[in-house]
């Protein structure tokens, strides 16, 4: 016989969890909706496979929609829009038109950095074969440290109004 408090988990939570995740709810928000702690939500996810799948499915559907939106933003798109004017007698006049939304450079870069990492990632090549400190003699190192100390002292004494 298992000990402890009985679970508040209900099978009907599966559908609700998927819908919440599909709407963009975070784990904290889902837990709040069910009136539980996030640790309980994680326990439910680990012990109820259908609940775990529902959360993953909802999040995946939303992620797919965001991915499509990013793609359209990167490529540019057209959409129906309406301009509203006032006629000479003051009545509003609506004029439908097709708006051109240009490609967004930031969306393009983000897309390429994630889809073509090898060509577009920000990378810094460092040469780790020699250390600048090892390349200096002991006397050179002492001179550099003395110079840094003198620079720091002269900065401290400088006129704050200049």
User: CA torsion 82→84→88→89, rounded to 10°?
Assistant: 110
Number of domains in the chain: 2
Judge if 106 and 93 occupy the same domain: yes
Judge if 12 and 59 occupy the same domain: yes
Judge if 64 and 82 occupy the same domain: no
Q: 37, 50, 40: which is closest to 11 by C-alpha?
A: 50
* pTM assigned to the model: 0.57
Judge if 70 and 84 occupy the same domain: no
Query: Would you say residue 37 lies in a domain?
Result: yes
What integer pLDDT is reported at residue 24 of this predicted model?
Answer: 93
Judge if 17 and 53 occupy the same domain: yes
Mean pLDDT taken over the chain = 86
- pLDDT classification of 33: cutoffs 50, 70, 90: very high
How far, in Å, CA of 16 to CA of 22, rounded?
10
Dihedrals phi, psi of 76, to nearest 5 degrees: 85, 160
Q: Give 103-155 pLDDT, tens digit per residue.
A: 999 999 988 888 888 888 887 777 666 655 566 778 887 888 888 877 777 66
Query: Would you say residue 41 lies in a domain?
Result: yes
Query: Would you say residue 154 lies in a domain?
Result: no
Query: Would you say residue 129 lies in a domain?
Result: no
Query: Would you say residue 56 lies in a domain?
Result: yes
Q: Which letter does DSSP use for residue 23 in this model?
A: T
Query: Would you say residue 125 lies in a domain?
Result: no
On whether the CB atoms of residues 72 and 103 are closer than 8 A, the answer is no
Query: Would you say residue 147 lies in a domain?
Result: no
- pLDDT classification of 2: cutoffs 50, 70, 90: low
DSSP sequence for 29-70: HHHHHHT--HHHHHHHHHH-HHHHHHHHHHHHHHHHHHHHHH
Query: Would you say residue 45 lies in a domain?
Result: yes
Residue pointed to by tokens 């200096």: 136
Judge if 35 and 53 occupy the same domain: yes
What integer pLDDT is reported at residue 145 of this predicted model?
Answer: 83
Q: How far is CA 30 from the centre of its chain?
A: 19
Alpha helices in the chain (DSSP H): 13-22, 27-34, 38-47, 49-75, 105-115, 117-120, 132-135, 138-156
Q: Give 14-31 pLDDT, tens digit per residue.
A: 999 999 999 999 999 999
Range 38-57 average pLDDT: 95
Q: For residue 112, give its domain range.
A: 76-120
Judge if 66 and 111 occupy the same domain: no
């Amino acid at each position: 016989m298992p000990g402890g408090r009985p679970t508040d988990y209900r099978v009907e939570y599966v559908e609700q969890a998927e819908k919440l995740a599909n709407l963009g709810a975070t784990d904290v928000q889902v837990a709040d909706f069910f009136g539980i702690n996030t640790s309980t939500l994680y326990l439910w996810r680990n012990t109820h496979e259908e609940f775990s799948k529902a959360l993953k499915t909802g999040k995946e559907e939303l992620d797919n929609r965001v991915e499509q939106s990013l793609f359209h933003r990167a490529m540019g798109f057209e959409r129906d829009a309406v301009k509203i004017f006032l006629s000479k007698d003051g009545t509003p006049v609506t004029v439908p038109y097709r708006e051109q939304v240009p490609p967004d450079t930031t969306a393009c870069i983000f897309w390429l950095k994630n889809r073509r990492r090898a060509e577009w990632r920000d990378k810094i090549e460092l040469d780790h074969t020699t250390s600048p400190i090892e390349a200096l003699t002991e006397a050179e190192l002492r001179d550099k440290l003395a110079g840094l100390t003198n620079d720091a002292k002269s900065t401290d004494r400088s006129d704050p109004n200049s």
